Chain A
Amino acid sequence: MRHRIFGLILKELLALFRDKRSRFVVIGPPLIQLIIFGYAATFDVNRIPYASYDEENSGVSRDLLARFEGSRVFRHWGRIHSDDELAKVIDRKEVLLVIHIGRNFSRDLFASPPARMQAIVDGRNSNTAGILLGYVGQIVVDFNASWLPLHGIKPPPAVLQPRAWFNPNLESRWFIVPGLLATLTLVVSIMTVGLSVAREREAGTLDQLLVTPMTPSEIVLGKVIPGFLVAMGEVTLIFLAAVFWFRIPFVGNLLALYVGLAFYSLATIGIGLTISSVSATQQQALLGSFFFLSPAIVLSGFSTPIRNMPELVQWLTLLNPLRFALVVTRRVFLEGAGFAEVWPQFIPMALIAAGSLLGAWWVFRRRVG
C-alpha cells in the first residue's frame, strides 16, 4: 500500500512539474507577487505632493512652511496664490494637501493665539488623508514646542511620547510581507490542489485511477501529500525571500512557524480538495476556488483589521484558516513568539483541516460508489 501511494505522489508531482508552463505557474507568480506586493503594498506615505498657499509671507509663516519642506513625508509641489488655484490643484490631483496660512497669521500668533493654519486635504483616499493629517499635526506640534520656550511661555503640562513595540519605525512592509507568506501559500495550494481532481475528472484520468486497485482514501492521500510538499516548499521559498530579500526581522521560533504553517497547509489543501471533488468540471472548480479565495483574503485581517468588521462578519472569520495563519506568521516574525504564544491558533486550523479532509474523502467515496 505504501508503495502504491508513493507511486501516486510521484505521478502527481511529475504532472505538476513536468509541464513547463504549469511549473512556471507554481513557482513564478508567487515570487513575482511577493516582490511586487512586498514593495507596493504599503500604507506608509511618503513624497506626498503639497502646495503652500501663504497669504502673509512673513518670517514666522516661512519658518512654519520650512518645516514641511524639511520633512521626508512631504514634497513641495509649488506655491499657489488664490482660492481658485487651490480648488484646481486639489480637483486635478496635482497635490493631496494644501497648507494655507492666512493674512493675519503672525498678528494672531503674538496678540491672540492660537493662530490658525489650514490644512486642505484630498479625501478621495481616506486612509492616506488620515495619515497625512497626522503628520501635519506632528509638524505643528513640534513647531509649537520650539516656539514656546523661545518666547518665554510656560510649556504645556504634558507632551506626547509615543513609542512602538515590535516595529519601531511603523513600517507597514513588516506587517504585509509576513502576511504574504500565508496569503500566497493559500492561493497556490487552493489553485493547484483544488483544481487537480476536477482536471483529472475532465481529462478522464480519474476513471483510470478508480479502476486501479487503489482505495478512495489512498487516492485522497495521493493528492494531499504532494500538495503538502508543494505548499511547504512554497512556504520555504517565500520565507527565505522575506528574510533575505526584504530583511524582515525574524525573532521568533522557526519550528513554531513551520508547525503552524503545516496545520495551515493541510487546512487549505482540505478546502481545495473539497471544492474540487464537489465540482464536475474544471471551470466549476475554478469558480468555487474563487468564491472561496476572495472572501478568505479580504476577511482575514491581511490588509484591514478584523476588529473593524461588523460583529457577524467577525464570527464568520473564525472559519477562515488564513485568519489564524496570519496571527502565527506575524507574531512569530515580529513579536518573537514561540509555541507557548501561538499554539491556541493551531487548534482551529487543525479542526478546519480535519473537517475539510474528511469532507473531501466522504464526497470522494460517495462519488466513487
Chain B
Amino acid sequence: MSFAPMRLGALWRKEWIQIWRDPASIGIGVVLPALLLLIFGYGISLDALRLPIGVVVEKPNPLTASFVAGLEQSRYFAPHPYGSIGVAEEAMSRTKVEAILWLWGDFTRRGLREGNAPLSLIVNGVDANTARLMEGYFQGVWGQWLDWEAKTSGEPILTPVDVESRIWFNPALESRHYLAPGVIVINMTLVGALLTALVIAREWERGTMEALLSTPVSVSEILWSKIGPYFVLGMGGMAVSVGMAVGLFGAPLVGSLWVLFLAAALFLLSSLGMGLVISTAFRSTFLASMVAVVATFLPAFILSGFIFDIGSMPGPIRLFTYLLAARYFVALLQTIFLAGNVWSVILPNLAALFLMAALFLGIAWRMSRRSLE
C-alpha cells in the first residue's frame, strides 16, 4: 500500500474541480442543509397552543363560570361554547374541535354537596400524542381552578400533596430547542451518505472508477481523495446548520464549540464511510441513493432519539439503534447544546462514533480493494 502526497494532492484537485463543475454536490453540501433547517425549524413543533375545545355547560352558574374562565385564560385552549352535547359531538366528528368539556346539569349541586362532581373531558384520540398533552394541560387548568376555589370560598385547602416540577436544560419545554440539534443530525446524515452515494456510485456506473483504479494510484489514496473534499463540504454544511440553529432558532449552545465540531467530524466520517460502502456495493446511482435514503435518512429521523424516545421502543429495536451512528450523534448534540460538556455522556458517545467511522471506512477500503482483483 503506497501513499504519495503528490498523487493525493492531484486527486484532490480533480475532485474539487469536479465538485465545482457540478452544482449538485454544492447543492447537497450547503443549500440542502440550510433549506432543511428552515423547513424543520419552522415546520416541526410539538408545542400545542390554543387547542380548539368545545364547552357544553348544561346549567350555567358561578361555579361553572369560574371553571370556564380558567380554561379561557389558559394559553393552551381556545374554548368554543356549544348548546348541547349533541352539537358538540357533531363538531368534534367534523374535527372542528379536538376535545369537549361537558359539565352535566347536576355538576354544581353534586360538587357543592358531596364533591367529586365529574368534569367530563372527551378528547379525539386519533393523534394520541396531542391528546395526551391535552389531558396534561387540562389537569393543570383543573389544579389551578381548585386552588383558586379554595382561596375564594375559604374552605380548607383541598390538595394534600402538590407537585413542584423542575425541568432542567429546557425550562419552558420548547420543543424547538431540542429539535434543532436533531435537525442537524438529519442534515449531516443526508450530506454524508447522499453525497458519496450519488457521486461515487455514478463513477462506478460510468466506469470512471475502474479507470481510476487501473492507474498507479492506490486504493487508500482514492478513498481519501473521495473523502477529503466531501468532508470539507459536509463540515461547511455543519457550520451553516449550527449558525442557523443558534442565530435563527435561538437554540442555546451551552457546551463548547470544539467538542461539537469534533463530534460532527467523527459522525461525518462514519456517514461518508457508509456512503462509500453503499455505493461500492450497488454501483448504480438509482439503487445507491435509494438505499442511502432508506438506510440513513429515515432511521436518523425515526430511530435516533431525535423525536421518539429510544428508551420506550421495544427491546429488539432498542438494540438495533446501537448500530446507528445517528443515535450517538443525537445524544451528543442534545447534551452539548442543552446541558453542556457532560463528559460522562460525551466520551462514550464519541468513542462509539469513532468506532463506527473506523468500521465503515475499513469496510469501504476492503470492498474497493477486492473489486480491483
Name A's B-contacting residues (CB within 8 A): 21-22, 25, 29, 32-33, 36-37, 39-49, 64, 90-93, 96, 109, 113-131, 133-134, 136-138, 140-141, 143-144, 147-148, 153-168, 170-172, 174-175, 187, 191, 195, 199, 282-284, 286-287, 290-291, 294-295, 298-299, 303-305, 307-310, 313, 330-331, 334-335, 341
Known: A164-B123, A168-B125. A127 touches B161 (CB 8 A): no
Name B's A-contacting residues (CB within 8 A): 22, 24, 27-28, 32, 35-36, 39-40, 42-49, 51, 63, 67, 92-93, 107, 111-112, 114-133, 135-136, 138-140, 142-143, 146, 149, 155-171, 173-175, 177-178, 190, 194, 198, 202, 282, 284-287, 289-291, 293-294, 297-299, 302-303, 305, 307-309, 311-314, 317, 320, 331, 334-335, 338-339, 342, 344-345
Chain A residues whose CB sits within 8 angstroms of the CB of B51 once the complex forms: 307
Q: Would you mind naming 6 contact pairs between A and B with Cβ atoms under 8 Å apart? A: A39-B317, A121-B167, A124-B339, A157-B149, A158-B117, A294-B297
**B contact face: mostly helix, strand, loop, or mixed:** helix
Q: Verify A162–B133 contact, CB threshold 8 A.
A: no
Q: Verify A64–B126 contact, CB threshold 8 A.
A: no
Known: A119-B163, A126-B46, A305-B48. A160 touches B139 (CB 8 A): yes
CB distance from B22 to the nearest CB of A (A): 8
Q: Verify A308–B48 contact, CB threshold 8 A.
A: yes
Q: Verify B163–A45 contact, CB threshold 8 A.
A: no
Chain A residues whose CB sits within 8 angstroms of the CB of B173 once the complex forms: 123, 126, 129-130
Q: In the complex, which of the residues B22, B135, B162, B339 contacts A162, with contact meaning CB atoms closer than 8 Å?
A: B135
Known: A126-B173, A147-B160, A167-B126. A154 touches B115 (CB 8 A): yes
Known: A117-B161, A164-B125. A127 touches B175 (CB 8 A): yes
Chain B residues whose CB sits within 8 angstroms of the CB of A330 once the complex forms: 126
Q: Verify B43–A298 contact, CB threshold 8 A.
A: yes
Query: In the complex the two chains form, what is the Cα distance from A138 to B139 in whole Å?
Result: 8
Q: Verify B118–A161 contact, CB threshold 8 A.
A: yes
Known: A165-B123, A170-B128. A158 touches B67 (CB 8 A): yes
Chain B residues whose CB sits within 8 angstroms of the CB of A33 once the complex forms: 294, 298
Q: In the complex, which of the residues B159, B198, B302 contacts A144, with contact meaning CB atoms closer than 8 Å?
A: B159
CB distance from A278 to the nearest CB of B (A): 14
CB distance from A80 to the nearest CB of B (A): 15
Chain A residues whose CB sits within 8 angstroms of the CB of B177 once the complex forms: 126
Q: Verify B132–A131 contact, CB threshold 8 A.
A: yes
Given A29-B291, A298-B40, 11 further pairs, Cβ under 8 A = A36-B303, A113-B161, A125-B178, A127-B307, A154-B156, A155-B114, A170-B131, A283-B22, A287-B27, A290-B293, A295-B39
Task: Give 6 nearest A-B pairs by CB, closest first.
Answer: A164-B125, A134-B136, A167-B125, A123-B170, A157-B111, A155-B115
Query: In the complex the two chains form, what is the Cα distance from A40 to B319 in whole Å?
Result: 12
Q: In the complex, which of the residues A122, A126, A158, A168 contacts B107, with contact meaning CB atoms closer than 8 Å?
A: A158
Chain B residues whose CB sits within 8 angstroms of the CB of A140 once the complex forms: 161-163
Chain B residues whose CB sits within 8 angstroms of the CB of A174 once the complex forms: 125-126, 128
Chain B residues whose CB sits within 8 angstroms of the CB of A158 once the complex forms: 67, 107, 111, 116-119, 142, 146
Q: Verify B342–A92 contact, CB threshold 8 A.
A: yes
Q: How many A-B residue pairs have CB under 8 A?
A: 331
Q: Verify A126–B170 contact, CB threshold 8 A.
A: yes
Chain A residues whose CB sits within 8 angstroms of the CB of B123 once the complex forms: 162-165
Chain B residues whose CB sits within 8 angstroms of the CB of A144 once the complex forms: 159-161
Q: Verify B178–A124 contact, CB threshold 8 A.
A: yes
A46 — nearest CB in chain B belongs to which residue? B312
Q: Verify B303–A159 contact, CB threshold 8 A.
A: no
CB distance from A150 to the nearest CB of B (A): 10
Known: A126-B170, A126-B175, A284-B24. A309 touches B43 (CB 8 A): yes
Residue with the greatest number of chain A CB neighbours at <10 A, chosen from B298, B305, B335:
B298
B39 — nearest CB in chain A belongs to which residue? A295
Q: Verify B344–A129 contact, CB threshold 8 A.
A: no
Query: In the complex the two chains form, what is the Cα distance from A155 to B159 in whole Å?
Result: 9
Chain B residues whose CB sits within 8 angstroms of the CB of A90 once the complex forms: 168
Query: In the complex the two chains form, what is the Cα distance from A158 to B120 in whole Å?
Result: 10
Q: In the complex, which of the residues B142, B287, B303 contacts A25, with contact meaning CB atoms closer than 8 Å?
A: B287
CB distance from A21 to the nearest CB of B (A): 5
Residue with the greatest number of chain A CB neighbours at <10 A, chosen from B40, B122, B146, B293:
B293
CB distance from A171 to the nearest CB of B (A): 6
Query: In the complex the two chains form, what is the Cα distance from A130 to B318 in whole Å?
Result: 22
Q: Verify A129–B342 contact, CB threshold 8 A.
A: no
Q: Verify A44–B339 contact, CB threshold 8 A.
A: no
Residue with the greatest number of chain A CB neighbours at <10 A, chosen from B125, B157, B158, B169:
B125
CB distance from B340 to the nearest CB of A (A): 8
Q: Verify A137–B139 contact, CB threshold 8 A.
A: yes
Query: In the complex the two chains form, what is the Cα distance from A157 to B149 in whole Å?
Result: 9
Q: In the complex, which of the residues A21, A134, A160, A282 contacts B282, with contact meaning CB atoms closer than 8 Å?
A: A21
CB distance from A4 to the nearest CB of B (A): 26
Q: Verify A40–B303 contact, CB threshold 8 A.
A: yes
Known: A167-B125, A305-B127. A39 touches B314 (CB 8 A): yes
Known: A21-B282, A313-B43. A160 touches B164 (CB 8 A): no
CB distance from A119 to the nearest CB of B (A): 5
Query: In the complex the two chains form, what is the Cα distance from A299 to B43 in whole Å?
Result: 6
Residue with the greatest number of chain B CB neighbours at <10 A, chosen from A46, A127, A171, A284:
A127
Q: Verify B163–A92 contact, CB threshold 8 A.
A: no
B135 — nearest CB in chain A belongs to which residue? A162
Q: Verify A124–B165 contact, CB threshold 8 A.
A: no
Known: A130-B136, A131-B132, A308-B46. A119 touches B164 (CB 8 A): yes
B102 — nearest CB in chain A belongs to which residue? A161
Chain B residues whose CB sits within 8 angstroms of the CB of A42 once the complex forms: 308, 312-313
A293 — nearest CB in chain B belongs to which residue? B293
Residue with the greatest number of chain B CB neighbours at <10 A, chosen from A115, A137, A331:
A137
